[in-house]
Amino acid sequence: MIDCRGLAAQDALKDLRGVKGEMIVLRSRDVTLTRPVRLLHPRFPLYIVPRGDGIFMLGATQIESGERGRASARSVMELLSAAYALSPAFGEAEVIEIGADARPAFPDNLPRITRKGDTLHVNGLFRHGFLLSPAVARQVAGLVLRDNERPELYHEDHA
Amino acid sequence: MLAPYCEGATAEEPVVRLGHEAADWWAAQGVEVQHHGSLVVTLARDRRELDQFARRTTGHRLVTGADLAKLEPHVADRHDPRCGSKMRPISTRARRWRICARSSKTAARGSRKRTPHQAAPELAP
């Protein structure tokens, strides 16, 4: 069995923790971006991803909390303030969605493949789900098919 | 968004290295993947953040005002075109390059919040 339940697998993976992320989706016809823009700031970095058709995703906070589904007023205010700093036209944008959830992460914020009995636990992709899932899946497949018994992300479970 | 180079500013080395597989893999599954790079900007008062970001990552180049206006006109509106001229250009990596830019003091007026916070890039194809 391959267990990829994300944060729900905390019952089996004691080191797994939640890192809360909040995001906002805006619609604006007045702003055009052709690539993601990251705004660096000592206290508040932010990125804006253009999704086409005037849709922009602002992300994302990173808070040490396993809480899911509750975006705080402060986070929303800060995300919108930073977008406004990048382009005042975002001030007129329509708020389409405010999202919050918790990412599954291990202490080193790297993914782990752990074997417990007949189960392979694949978890801890943190904020890199789409970025790392191809490599993680390749390593899991190598393990299952016995092409590579010790993939890079294999984590020895001593618990 | 798949941004392995940018992630290198804060993530461990395997994230950058393994992350480079992602774009081609998703494209092979039929996902439309565009390679436009990312634009990285900072408020003028936080210029050192940009330098620090550049030291921690690879595959970027500095973008001056005129270049920026061509790439992202809506962002360039908020940037002082003179800012870039004092900064040494950083090398470019083709295809998935990243760009550093610098914003003007005008942009700084829009953001007054100072609560400690870290951004967490979500990644979506």
- A57-114: per-residue pLDDT in tens? 999 888 899 888 899 999 999 899 888 888 889 999 999 999 999 999 999 999 999 9
ipTM of this complex prediction, to 2 decimal places: 0.90
With beta carbons less than 8 A apart as the criterion, state whether A102 and A19 touch: yes
Backbone angles phi, psi at A104, to 5 degrees: -85, 130
CA nearest A36 in B: which residue?
B38
Asked if residue A11 belongs to a domain, the reply is no
> Are the C-beta atoms of A83 and B100 separated by less than 8 Å?
no
Beta-carbon separation of B117 and A78 below 8 A: yes
| Model confidence pTM above 0.90 | no
* Residue A149 domain flag: no
If we measure between CA atoms, which residue out of A131, A81, A30 comes closest to residue B73? A30
> A74: closest CA among B71, B38, B115?
B115
Q: How far is A36 from chain B (nearest CA, A)?
A: 5
Residue A152 within any structural domain of the chain: no
Tally of residues, chain B: 125
| Chain A nearest CA to B54, separation (Å) | 11
Q: Are residues A31 and A89 in the same domain?
A: yes
Question: For the segment B86-112, what is each residue's pLDDT rounded down to a tens digit?
Answer: 333 333 333 333 344 543 332 222 222
Give the chain B residue nearest A111 (alpha carbons).
B15
Contact A41 B21 (CB under 8 A): no
CATH number of residue A72's parent domain: 3.30.9.10
* Nearest-angstrom CA–CA distance, B13 and B18: 9
Tell me if A24 is assigned to some domain: yes
DSSP B88: P
Distance between CA B92 and CA B49 in Å, rounded?
Answer: 19
Contact A35 B15 (CB under 8 A): no
A136: containing domain: 108-144
